[in-house]
Chains A and B, each alone.
Chain A
Amino acid sequence: MEHSDEDLYFRYHRSGDLQAFNQLYERYKGALYRFILRMIGNSATAEEVFQEVWASLIKSNQYRQGPGSFKTFVYTIARNKAIDHYRRNRIQLVSDAYVQEEQIEESEWDGADQAQAITKAVEALPAEQKEVFLLKVEAEMSLEEIAQMGGESREAIKSRYRYAVAKIRKWVSEENNDG
Chain B
Amino acid sequence: MTSDHHARLRILAAVAALAVVLLALAALAACGSSGGATSSASPSATGPVTVTDDSGHQVTLARPATRVVSLAPANTEIAFALGAGGKLVAGTSYDDYPAAAKALPKIGDFQSPSVEKIVSFQPDLVLAAGGIQAGLRAKLENLGIKVFVVDPSTLDGVYTDLTALGKLLGVSDKATTVVAAMKQRADAVEQKVAGLSRPTVFVEIYSKPLMTAGKATFIDNLVTLAGGTNIGDAAGSGFPSFSSEVLFKDDPDVYVATTGSMATPVQIAKRSGYSGLKAVKDGRVYVIEDNLLVRPGPRLVDGLEQLAQMIHPEVFGSPSPAASTTP
Do A and B pair up? The answer is: no
